[in-house]
Structure 1
Amino acid sequence: MLVLRLTQSLLKDMKAAAIEDCESSLLFSWHANMYQLNNRKHIIFMNDLSRLSVIVDEVRSSQLEKMKEKFKTTLSEYLRNEGVSQSLIKQYFLEGSEVVISKTNSRSVLGTMKEVIWYTQDTHLEYADHIGRMKWLNKLIYKPIDYKEPRDVFKEALKTRYSHSK
């Protein structure tokens, strides 16, 4: 089960009700917030375990189902671009087929997300598409993950979790 932990402002914008006390593996838990870039709303998702960032746009208020689908599609496309095997991606989404909405529960993740949003807004002219921007963002190192790159931490977690199925 994938748990999307929306900030209060995003919950209100999506007109969504959050499930209380939703427990999930950190690999399947994602914090989400919205921000403005070029006068357009973007939603950023950050994985709790790896601090991997995924950026989604073209989602309007009250389009919760579209936001969920767009997140899955964008994450899948990004992981393929990073060289993650299709079988690992399929296994991740098979285990995380159900998507639940909850409230944020980690100030550490929110702090890192705020930093990433700042980087995104500051460098918006350098990247023509989200994949390029996400590749750059996920190469940055962060203290909560022992100064490693989020993409490497996420890939390693996938390989560790699904290594038995090869």
Structure 2
Amino acid sequence: MAADDGALLGNWYVHRFPISRRKALVFMSETTFLSFILLQGKRAVTLDTLPTMLLAGLEQLLVMRGIPQEAVDRAFLHYQEGRFSKTDSRSALGTLNDIVFRYQWMIDHAGGLDACDLTDIIMRINETPHSRLGCDSWDAVQAKLLRLC
């Protein structure tokens, strides 16, 4: 999902994958690799519901990480409209696939969806430094978001 050029968290990638006999969606920021997963419910996910799912999941993640609502609201100003397209960025797809693998492994290692602490897994994955970002992790993202206050 593409955002306008001033979006701090950039464009977002979304990918559906299986986990513990369920379908999950991983959302990943192109510029920060910030990510979270949402489990698919009984209703079909459509192009109309994806933006709402992205913003609701992202807001929940940011608030749980202690980002003030004012900064969340300012970050969301750049996501008033969205566009969908496929990517040809092999680098971004490689990072997304790596993040999906880590979610699957951590959930399975913790005993599956019924036994794991999914919030803790999401937080730990976002604390992982990324070499493509100069080894930045959540701390760098948080500092950028806090400057929006």
**Normalized against structure 1, the TM-score is what?**
0.74
Give the structure with the larger strand fraction.
1
Q: Which runs of 5+ in 1 are unaligned?
A: 5-22
Aligned to 2:144: 157
Pairs within 5 Å for 1:1-166: 3=2, 24-25=5-6, 27-58=9-40, 61=44, 63-125=46-108, 126=110, 128-149=116-137, 151-160=138-147, 162=148, 166=149
Measure the CA separation in 1 of the matches of 2:143 and 2:93.
23
Tell me which moved more, 138-147 or 92-101: 92-101
> For each residue in 1:41-99, what CA deviation from the matched residue of structure 2 results, as whole angstroms up to 9, or x when unmatched?
11111111111112122255452222221221111011011111110001111232212
Contact 1:46 1:109 in 2 (8 A): no
Runs of at least 4 residues off by over 3 Å: 23-26, 59-62, 127-130
**Amino acid paired to 1:64:** L
TM-score, normalization: structure 2?
0.82
CA shift, 1:112, in A, is 1.3
Unaligned runs of 5+ in 2: none
Q: Offset at 1:101? A: 1.2
8 Å contact from structure 1 (residues 54, 71) kept in 2: no
The alignment of Structure 1 onto Structure 2 pairs a total of residues equal to 142
Work out whether residues 25 and 40 of structure 2, in 8 Å CA contact, stay in contact via their aligned partners in 1: no
Shift in alpha-carbon separation, 1:24–1:103, aligned structure 2, 3 A: farther
98-107 or 41-50: bigger deviation: 98-107
For 1:43 and 1:31, the matched residues in 2 are separated by 10
Percent identity for Structure 1 against Structure 2: 23
